[in-house]
């Protein structure tokens, strides 16, 4: 069984630095960098959703030769769901980790991400001034240690990386609107979606529009499951890697059971 990981907007394979080793104990794992991130060359033709999906499918087709579970964080969520519809013979289950869902209205999503233009623009300036690297070490990557932390901040502070992140953001509004208009994209496979615990259950969780979209995704799936993390952090793969790994393990078991004896 293979497990194939897709990172969120502007992020490298380092998103999965804590989850991948746990999953590798029971499955063959594949992580990669989209164009411009980590160790990958930049893409000068644009970074809209279709180009990101092209990257995903190209690596999937080149590396996966057995039943596969795909895992997507944030903007990687719709990537793996659409990919599952494109590759039904390969992708047998989907895990979504606090994904950006096209079930949400575009205007609501853009309002929630209104600070992103400043973020991605400032990263370019800070990288040029050699000031971004120490800041990344204090961000979501602070949950990493040692070589994994060094790798994440070294690669995340390059000009190629910050320009790729900015390009993905600049294409996001149009891409997300197109996804919303053509969706929702719900594959006919086992599906688990994990939401950040942004609003505790004792409060009005209906105010969490993203969590509501995740719940709806699970309801629309023929075999859907919706769970919440313990914390309110968006970067669940770095904060609660064991939760993510356990949900993936359950999907791997489901796929294996459905395939019958002899499945790998």
pLDDT in tens, 2-25: 999 999 999 999 999 999 999 999
- Measured in whole angstroms, how far is the alpha carbon of residue 109 from the centre of its chain? 16
Assess contact for 204 and 66: CB atoms under 8 A: no
* Phi/psi-derived region of residue 226, left when phi > 0, alpha when psi is between -120 and 50, beta in every other case: beta
Alpha-carbon distance values, 106 to 112, 161, 247 (Å): 10, 26, 29
Query: How many whole angstroms separate alpha carbon 22 and alpha carbon 6?
Result: 16
Within 10 Å of residue 74's Cβ, how many Cβ atoms?
Answer: 23
Task: Kindly list the domain boundaries of the chain, sorted by start residue.
Answer: 2-259
Give yes or no for residue 109 having a pLDDT over 90.
yes
Work out the mean pLDDT of the chain and round it to a whole number. Answer: 95
DSSP annotation of 87 reads -
Q: What is the pLDDT of residues 22-63, one digit of tens each?
A: 999 999 999 999 999 999 999 988 899 999 999 999 999 999
pLDDT score recorded for residue 69: 99
Does the domain at 2-259 match CATH 3.40.50.1820? Answer given as: yes
Q: What is the pLDDT of residues 155-214, one digit of tens each?
A: 999 999 999 999 999 999 999 999 999 999 999 999 999 999 988 766 666 678 999 999
pLDDT average, residue stretch 220-228: 97
Query: How many whole angstroms separate alpha carbon 169 and alpha carbon 174?
Result: 10
pLDDT score recorded for residue 204: 66
Give yes or no for residue 137 having a pLDDT over 60.
yes
pTM: 0.95
């Amino acid at each position: 069984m293979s497990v194939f990981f897709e990172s969120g907007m502007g992020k490298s394979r380092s998103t999965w630095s804590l989850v991948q080793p746990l999953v590798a104990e029971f499955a063959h794992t594949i992580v990669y960098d989209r164009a411009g991130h980590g160790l990958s060359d930049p893409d000068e033709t644009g970074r809209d959703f279709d180009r990101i999906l092209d990257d995903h499918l190209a690596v999937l087709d080149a590396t996966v030769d057995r039943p596969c579970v795909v895992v997507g964080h944030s903007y990687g969520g719709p990537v793996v769901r659409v990919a599952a519809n494109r590759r039904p013979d390969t992708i047998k289950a989907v895990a979504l980790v606090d994904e950006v869902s096209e079930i949400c209205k575009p205007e609501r999503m853009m309002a929630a991400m209104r600070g992103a233009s400043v973020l991605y623009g400032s990263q370019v300036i800070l990288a040029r001034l050699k000031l971004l690297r120490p800041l990344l070490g204090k961000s979501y990557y602070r949950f990493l240690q040692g070589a994994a932390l060094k790798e994440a901040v070294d690669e995340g502070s390059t000009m190629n990386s910050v320009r790729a992140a900015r390009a993905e953001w600049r294409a996001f509004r149009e891409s997300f609107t197109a996804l919303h208009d053509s969706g929702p994209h719900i594959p006919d496979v086992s599906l688990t979606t994990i939401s950040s615990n942004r609003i505790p259950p004792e409060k009005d969780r209906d105010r969490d529009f993203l969590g509501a979209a995740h719940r709806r995704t699970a309801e629309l799936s023929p075999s859907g499951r919706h769970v919440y993390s313990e914390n309110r952090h968006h970067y669940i793969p770095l904060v609660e890697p064991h939760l993510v790994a356990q949900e993936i393990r359950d999907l791997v078991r489901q796929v294996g059971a459905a395939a019958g004896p002899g499945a790998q």
